Amino acid sequence: MNEEYMNVVMGIIMHGGNAKGLAYQAIQQAKEGNFDTAHESLQQANDELREAHDVQTDLLTRVAQGEVIELNLYMVHAQDHLMTAIAFKDMATEFIGQEERLQALEEK
């Protein structure tokens, strides 16, 4: 396994992990009523997911061009991190919307 391959794997893991952490941070900010900050954190999470997706897309493009890419547990782990981060960010978005609604109702 070469260094370039491991850089791809680690790029997906790193950006996916950053996105998930930012989404969690956004939930905590929303619970405190800091919705502007929560939305900023969600945007940063989206930016991290875009970075991970770009790394992944580069790899997929290379495969489409005929390059043989080794599939192993490292890559499976990276893809798992990315998919989990995407799902978590989507759920965080929903949670923050519900938290905004709940806090608005409580203010009435």
> Choosing from 15, 53, 77, 81, which is the catalytic residue?
77
CA–CA gap between residue 78 and residue 33 (Å, rounded): 33
pLDDT, position 59: 87
pTM, whole model, 2 decimals? 0.89
Q: Give per-10-residue mean pLDDT for the chain (108 aa).
A: 87 96 98 97 98 91 89 92 97 97 92
pLDDT, position 68: 87
Q: Spell out the alpha helix ranges (H) of the chain.
A: 3-31, 35-64, 73-107
Is 53 an active-site residue?
Answer: no
pLDDT, position 2: 86
CA–CA gap between residue 79 and residue 13 (Å, rounded): 8
Match domain 3-107 to its CATH number in 3.30.70.100, 1.20.58.80, 2.40.50.100, 2.40.40.20.
1.20.58.80
User: What angle is formed at CA 44 by the lines to CA 38 and CA 45, rounded to 5 degrees?
Assistant: 90
The encoded tokens of residue 71 equal: 């599939």
